[in-house]
Amino acid sequence: MHLRLRLAVSSLLLGPMLLGVVVAGGPASAERIPRPVLAEGFADPTVTVRGDGFVGFSTGSLVPRAYAAGPDASWRATGSALMRLPSWSHDDGDIWASDIARVGRWWVLYFAAPVRGLGEYGRCIGVARSRSAVTGFKPVGDQPLVCPSFVDVPAADDAVPIALPGLPRAGVIDPSHVMAGGRPHLVYKTDRIPSSIRLLPLTKNGQHAASPSVELFRHDGVLENPVLIERPAGWVMLLSQGDFTGCSYRTIWRRSTSIFNWTEATTGVLLDSSSRLCGPGGADVTPMPHSKRLRIYFHAWTCHGTTTPCGPVIRKERVRRRSQAVRPMYAADLDWVDGVPVIAGFL
């Protein structure tokens, strides 16, 4: 999730599924329903530039990978990114919401892998590296980068216990790399409700903790998939909000003048049901190859083996199975209006 290139977007008004995209300063317009750029399931995408095209990674077993040869080329699945699970993990579940970054001579992959002792969905954050974005990533070391101290795995790099007062003992997820003050950091979420967003300073190579993490803020509901973006006026954080299993899931932004103080942050909505999509979230932003133009990648629900957005009733697991619901990957170009980015158009 590519640092310094993210978005601060003007607030969109909530609306029914059949309204068009709301652009800052303009009326809602009836537009065609956006179509996915990769129709198969590719949830929580992270995308980076590779040569003239892109490579992307998603939630799934050993981090599914896909590739597009150019900005307008078709996406195709290309296997898995991770060569194996780390020694501290187990295979009773998918790896969630990875992120990739080029740090020095290495491509570094951050991922949330399942561990025992945190409940059915509990995860810790690990690191893997490769010399290429399209070859197999090998886990780094025999311990997690971030993990609750009470879990029976080797001690994590992040020395601060995650079992902090008032927070669930459910692990950590949604890692995202960011450069701040000239050095790499990792922003991530403590799982379940209340949501807690934390920032971890990393060593120069981005593979270990340099000092303990700090809490940026908490939220009574679900805020996840944090992405930090440095802008001239301060910092913007992109987040997914709500229940990911339904169409009310959406992508929001928060903006602050300080990376460490979010008490007076302003906020707005980037993508929601007014974009004629069901549950747009898990977003990542990347530059275009050989260009300063930006593109956002995200997932949303489709049903019945088609590219048709699901209806709001898919929030129940039983209904989602019957509806053949999946989360394919979508893409949109970004533009700037009055100093903040807006959706310029879906691909």
pLDDT digits 0-9 by tens, 221-273: 999 999 998 888 889 899 999 999 999 999 999 989 999 999 999 999 999 99
Say how far apart CA 192 and CA 214 lie, in whole Å. Answer: 18
Say how far apart CA 14 and CA 218 lie, in whole Å. Answer: 24
Tokens (6 digits) for 59: 């939630």
Say how far apart CA 255 and CA 284 lie, in whole Å. Answer: 17
- Phi, psi (deg, nearest 5) at residue 203: -65, 170
Contact between residue 303 and residue 311 where contact means Cβ atoms under 8 Å apart: yes
Residue 159, judged by CB atoms within 10 A of its CB (0-12, 13-18, 19+), counts as: exposed
Q: Residue 83: is its pLDDT beyond 50?
A: yes
Sign (positive/negative) of CA torsion 203, 128, 149, 198?
A: positive
Say how far apart CA 228 and CA 3 lie, in whole Å. Answer: 7
- Phi, psi (deg, nearest 5) at residue 322: -65, -30
Name residue 219's beta-bridge partners.
195
**pLDDT digit string, tens, across residues 146-202:** 999 888 899 999 987 777 888 988 999 999 999 999 999 999 999 999 999 999 999
- Phi, psi (deg, nearest 5) at residue 182: 80, 5
Residue 296: enclosing H or E segment and its boundaries? strand 294-301
Tokens (6 digits) for 195: 């949501």
Residue 153, judged by CB atoms within 10 A of its CB (0-12, 13-18, 19+), counts as: buried
Closest CA to 236 of 5, 62, 2, 7: 7
Tokens (6 digits) for 179: 């450069």
**pLDDT digit string, tens, across residues 266-304:** 999 999 999 999 999 999 988 899 988 889 999 999 999
Beta strands 75-80; 96-103: pairing state = unpaired
Neighbours of 274 (CB within 10 A): 21
Tokens (6 digits) for 337: 């209006």
Tokens (6 digits) for 32: 């065609």
* pLDDT given at position 31: 63
Residue type, 70: G
* pLDDT given at position 339: 62
* pLDDT given at position 149: 87
pTM of the model: 0.88
